[in-house]
Structure 1
Amino acid sequence: MNTSSNSASILEAASSNVQVTRKGLPVNIFSSPADIVFSHTEYQSHKAVPFITVKQLGHGSFGVVDSVQMSCHPTGSLFARKIVRLRNMDRKRLLPIIQQEIEVLRRLKHKHIVQIVSTYETTSIPRQFGILVLPAGDEDLSHFLDRIEESNFPDREIGYLRKWQYCLTSAVAYIHEESIRHKDIKPSNIILKNDQVFLADFGSAHQFSSDLMSTTEGYAAGITRMYSAPEVLEQEPRGRPADIYSLGCVFAEMAVVMNSRRIDEFHEYRSEPDPNDPQKTTLLYAVTAHKIERWFRELGDTWMASLLADMLRTDPKNRPAAKDLLLAIEMHRGVVKCDCSGTVDIS
């Protein structure tokens, strides 16, 4: 088990972009996400935790998310922190879920996926488990789309969206190659730092194996129903195609803005009577996806209409793999290869 001082030195090094030595190996924490050294620490009290909150970022699947800095280096870089409260009765149940998220994130090394830096647990009541990742985004994709609408669809930001569709597809293709499913892809789980995009919040991520045919059954706690594939809502076996469906929902909202249209207008167009309560309407993509292709064809964006029709197919076996989506984007837009630098600036 690491000591508190050791954990602080690792994170302070990240915050100030200096060299540290751990187990005899000099490491520049900020040189690349692949070079980040993971650490775990136990603190006897909440006051001993060496971080100060800069901004509340919201609520994740199992806890609060905020932006923090080292208390001993308040002008240093920001970290995103997820805090999970562990009541004694829940600790045994929640810890495996938390540890699963950590193991998933530690395995992933991609320039468009957040990188876990450190974890800690407090032993005083109420017990807390903290997970720190880089980067702490400037905003999430949902807020970015709202801001573009308010700014009358500036060309530069529209260009970012076109690039980010490729970047996000690359990230999803990577996690699928690593035998990982995200399980909760949605705009608020996609964060932005400067002009770069990162897939975040693997709180519902789940490893799968080939002998299980890359599927699970039952209803997944913590998922977002609006962006869920039909098989997820129906508690049927699901695998990688469920991620493709959710990504297609995100792409649809990005493409609405790319076509200088407003998302609330899009939602109004595709709303349907709720199958469970005809007196109400629903925006679940699994219910309204059949309207999306027509929306984009009427706008004249026939390529996007066809792409989304493929990604949002009801039968998961008929959805394209992420690697095939990359090829489709390249063929349509030219060799778009993600032009984000190999070493991402996450300071």
Structure 2
Amino acid sequence: LITVREGADLQISDHNVLPYKVIRNLGMGGCASVEMVEDTTTGQLFAHKIFRRYHGPNLKKFRLEVRNEIKIMRRLSSHPHIIRLFATYACKRDFGMILTPVADGGDLATYLLNILDSGNPPTAENRAVLMRAFGCLANGLAFIHKQTIRHKDIKPQNILIHQGRIIYTDFGIAFDATQHDSTTTTGRPNAFTRRYCAPEVASWAKRNRKSDIFSLGCVFIEVLTVLEPLLHSEHL
């Protein structure tokens, strides 16, 4: 087994050299799955994001897209409300990211649904976490935008809760405008979530950092409907 140090970008020929033992599956997205793993040499827990084996003809383009996500996450990892990229690896047509922390509270979407499904008002602990979320998310997004980056897919599923702390994750379609004149883009979006995207995104019009702010506003409304049940859609 090899030793994986923070900041490493590994090129390996066999997954078995990685020192990770799978604990459980955490979720699956459009192009990747995430599992909780334990480093058998240190005992530390990580989230292991595994990009599904790429079978398309343009492997170079796919690698560039993954590297873009890695580059963005490395620039943002110093912020307390953004997931930290610990290390990466490439193994033939497979790519992986080792992330920290492993969110003990799951994602915000599941957290909100669990409160609603309980049939009871939010507990004092629930309320404390959700009340903190407004400032944490606003602060995190301000930092992202200050780095001339657009997240482009802000939604409860891409927000984690760990020890009461709110954390942005999944920068797979984020846009780094460092080499551009502005964060404005046009044309067909490469992906978006209609429930949370700004109107200009859905209509393929010009969009910029303000589109992220619109999406965050949608998240805030969902949090408010749990904190204040009378605001729930069935009462509007």
TM-score w.r.t. structure 1 length?
0.62
The yes-or-no answer on 1:231 pairing with 2:197 is no
The yes-or-no answer on 1:62 pairing with 2:31 is yes
| Count of aligned positions | 231
Q: Give the C-alpha shift of residue 56 in structure 1.
A: 1.1
Letter in 1 for 2:62: L
Partner Cα separation in structure 1 for residue 99 and residue 37 of structure 2: 10
Q: Secondary structure at the match of 2:81?
A: coil
The structure richer in helix per residue is 1
> Which residue of 78, 93, 111 corresponds with 1:144?
111
Gap change, CA 1:261 and 1:69, over 3 Å in 2: farther
**Residue 132 of structure 1: aligned partner:** 98
Partner Cα separation in structure 2 for residue 77 and residue 217 of structure 1: 43
Runs of 4+ in 1 over 4 A off after TM superposition: none
**Residue 123 of structure 2: aligned partner:** 154
Q: Give the C-alpha shift of residue 261 in structure 1.
A: 5.2
CA contact (8 A) 1:60 1:201 kept: no
CA contact (8 A) 2:150 2:208 kept: yes
> Which residue of 163, 177, 184 corresponds with 1:194?
163
1:65-87 deviation per Cα after TM superposition (whole angstroms, max 9, x unaligned): 111111344xx232112111223
1:8-19 aligned within 5 A: 8-10=3-5
**Residue 115 of structure 1: aligned partner:** 84
Gaps of 5+ in 1: 11-36, 270-294, 296-347
Q: Give the C-alpha shift of residue 212 in structure 1.
A: 3.1
CA contact (8 A) 1:61 1:204 kept: no
1:1-347 aligned within 5 A: 5=2, 8-10=3-5, 37-73=6-42, 76-84=43-51, 85-87=53-55, 89-108=57-76, 109-123=78-92, 127-138=93-104, 139-149=106-116, 150=118, 152=120, 153-209=122-178, 212-260=181-229, 266=233, 295=236
Letter in 2 for 1:134: T
Q: Say which one has the larger Rg.
A: 1
Percent identity between matched residues is: 34
CA contact (8 A) 2:4 2:87 kept: no
Q: Give the C-alpha shift of residue 222 in structure 1.
A: 3.4
Q: Give the C-alpha shift of residue 61 in structure 1.
A: 4.4
Partner Cα separation in structure 2 for residue 182 and residue 210 of structure 1: 16
CA contact (8 A) 1:185 1:227 kept: yes
Gap change, CA 1:216 and 1:159, over 3 Å in 2: same
Partner Cα separation in structure 1 for residue 89 and residue 134 of structure 2: 34
Q: Give the C-alpha shift of residue 151 in structure 1.
A: 6.1
Q: Give the C-alpha shift of residue 49 in structure 1.
A: 2.7
Letter in 2 for 1:140: D
Q: Secondary structure at the match of 1:93?
A: helix
Gap change, CA 1:148 and 1:134, over 3 Å in 2: same
1:42-61 deviation per Cα after TM superposition (whole angstroms, max 9, x unaligned): 22123223222212111234
Gap change, CA 1:219 and 1:53, over 3 Å in 2: farther
**Residue 299 of structure 1: aligned partner:** none
Partner Cα separation in structure 1 for residue 189 and residue 206 of structure 2: 11
1:14-68 deviation per Cα after TM superposition (whole angstroms, max 9, x unaligned): xxxxxxxxxxxxxxxxxxxxxxx41011221232232222121112342111111
Letter in 2 for 1:57: L
Q: Secondary structure at the match of 1:231?
A: helix
Q: Give the C-alpha shift of residue 210 in structure 1.
A: 8.6
TM-score w.r.t. structure 2 length?
0.90
Partner Cα separation in structure 2 for residue 162 and residue 89 of structure 1: 47
CA contact (8 A) 2:149 2:183 kept: no
Partner Cα separation in structure 1 for residue 7 and residue 32 of structure 2: 21
Gap change, CA 1:99 and 1:169, over 3 Å in 2: same
